[in-house]
Amino acid sequence: MHWADAFVKDLTEKQTVSTGISPSGHIHVGNMREILTGYFFHRALKDRGVESRFIYLCDDIDPLRKVYPFLKKEEYEQHVGKPLSSIPAPEGEGTYSEYFLRPFLETLGTIEVKVEVIRSTDLYRDGVFAKATDIVMNNVPRIREILETVSGRKLEPNWAPYNPICSSCGRINSTSVTGYTFPYVDYTCKCGHSGKSDIRKNEGKLPWRLEWPAKWFALGVTIEPFGKDHGAAGGSYDTGKAIAEEIFGIKAPLPLTYERILLKGKGVMHSSTGNVIPASEMVQYAPPEILRFLIARTHPSRHIDFDPGLGLLNLVDEYERYRNVFYGLEEAAGEDDARTYELSRLVEEKPDTFVSFRHLITLVQIYTTDEQLLGAMKRSGYGESKLSPYMKNQVKVAKAWLEKYAPDQVKFSLLPQDTKVSLSEQDVALARSFQEKIGEIEWTPEAIHNAVHGFIKEQNLEPKAGFATFYKILIGKERGPRLGYFLSNLDRVNVQRRLEIVLSGN
């Protein structure tokens, strides 16, 4: 059974699956595990006929913690400590949080993940946290005791479970609570200002360890996946669970701690270090369903070493193998293959409506126009009369991947006309016979192929070695794309000239 199905298999009541990511920087492939793990639970529930609500809480009231390396120091120093929803975007119009949220939401659209997006600033502004905040402010000693016991840390004497936003300087990290009378929290700020925050508005926020259980309480969350940073003993899930049960009188959601996604050879993806591939970029360099597949195929308890190079190509191969399993064209290797495919795919893909991505990688390096490409695809079993939007995107993605991440192993390009290549006697003889007759060969794939094969046979060569001669001359490699189709797309005069140049040097 697929891990998502196994996780929800005993649930029959309506569930609310919640996820949360802070838009403090680029929302990256690593963050996708949060939202997609939740999404797969949601899907698994619905597929079992269990009612489910799926929400994503965007923590946009969180303060900017520091000036990240990707921010201009002079510009953002003044904003440290202010909510992400009230400081300017690194570029263009709008707020900081929306700047990073927008491409993420677009990416969710691209991979067909439908989720209710809730901004924490809005929750506070609309008073959704008011009741929870009031409960919390009336139970400070008990909460302090829980936090100190469960987490083992000592809280400051003036600690309070609420952080007011200073109405004068806008900071949330420099205020101290001095009193509480519903609905106002009194505070003083390091900037010298004293004031009141209305807990029914976005004039302050709960600290994380309280905000999390308050969210469960206010929104009725029953399932929540989270990163292992929250899952450590004495971590925020432990304290959250205790607060949920003892202060709010609710059950904590069913937890799932997931492992991190690493970038192969570079370690953990962190927005603060810049060691990231934003999710919005990944869907430009990989078929979008692969983002889902990457997360769906691996149990959350295992870390993922993501390799955007050759590893990505292998990943797509695997996805396509699972697709074949789903359509009964191939035997399953693992028992969840078909289900993993089903959870990953974006649209129904009938077997004759696509061409394998690996093959496409070759094709887009040979053909320049859609017509040529379509012809080549049809020879590979593509049944549509024109490029589908899906395949158009695949083509775009294949080109982008070649440009940015492809290893040399899968790339080829014509050698410059005057590049010297040393050839064996066999190579020379073969290339010469072709070069001498090149003007008489009909410049079509089949005719070229037949001509080359004729010369190979005439000279008693191994076909493989014979073809290699031409690859050496043209692209400097031992192997290459099917020669007839390849050459027919090159200008005959240029090919002739290239052969002459190489032969004159041997």
Partner RNA sequence: GGGCCCAUAGCUCAGCUAGGUAGAGCAUCUGGCUUUUAACCAGGUGGUCGAGGGUUCGAAUCCCUCUGGGCCCGCCA
Q: Taking contact as CB under 7 A, which single stretch among the options 58-66, 125-133, 136-144, 423-431 is the one that binds RNA? A: 58-66
Pair of tokens at residue 498: 């290239």
- Which is closer to RNA, CB of 188 or CB of 257? 257
Q: What does the alpha-carbon distance between residue 327 and residue 139 come to, in Å, rounded to a whole number? A: 58
Residue 207 within binding range of RNA, rule CB under 7 A: yes
Three-state DSSP class for residue 59: coil
Residue 125 within binding range of RNA, rule CB under 7 A: no
Long-range contacts made by residues 83-89, C-beta under 8 angstroms, separation at least 24?
A: 83/121, 83/165, 83/170, 83/172, 83/202, 83/205, 84/22, 84/23, 84/24, 84/59, 84/60, 85/60, 85/61, 85/119, 85/121, 86/170
Count the site residues for RNA by CB under 7 A.
73
- Please list every residue from 358 through 377 that binds RNA, using CB under 7 A: 358-359, 362, 365
Among 130, 137, 483, 487, binds RNA (CB under 7 A): 483
Residue 380 within binding range of RNA, rule CB under 7 A: yes
Rg over alpha carbons for the chain, rounded to the nearest Å, is: 30
- Please list every residue from 446 through 465 that binds RNA, using CB under 7 A: 449-450, 453, 463-464
Residue 354 within binding range of RNA, rule CB under 7 A: no
Q: Taking contact as CB under 7 A, which single stretch among the options 126-134, 242-250, 410-418, 424-432 is the one that binds RNA? A: 410-418
Residue 410 within binding range of RNA, rule CB under 7 A: yes
Minimum distance between the CB of residue 397 and RNA, rounded to whole angstroms?
17
- Please list every residue from 209 through 268 that binds RNA, using CB under 7 A: 209, 211, 228-236, 257, 259-260, 262, 267-268
Residue 489 within binding range of RNA, rule CB under 7 A: no
- Which is closer to RNA, CB of 110 or CB of 450? 450
Do 171 and 195 meet the contact criterion of CB atoms below 8 Å apart?
Answer: no
Do 187 and 166 meet the contact criterion of CB atoms below 8 Å apart?
Answer: yes
Q: Taking contact as CB under 7 A, which single stretch among the options 97-105, 136-144, 383-391, 407-415 is the one that binds RNA? A: 407-415
Q: Are strands 223-227 and 254-258 parallel, antiparallel or unpaired?
A: parallel
Q: What does the alpha-carbon distance between residue 411 and residue 402 come to, in Å, rounded to a whole number? A: 7
Question: In angstroms, how far is the first alpha carbon of the chain from the final one?
Answer: 62
Residue 352 within binding range of RNA, rule CB under 7 A: no
Residue 344 within binding range of RNA, rule CB under 7 A: no
- Which is closer to RNA, CB of 273 or CB of 506? 273
Three-state DSSP class for residue 440: helix
Among 78, 168, 314, 424, binds RNA (CB under 7 A): 314
Orientation of helix 140-151 relative to helix 236-246, angle to 10°: 140
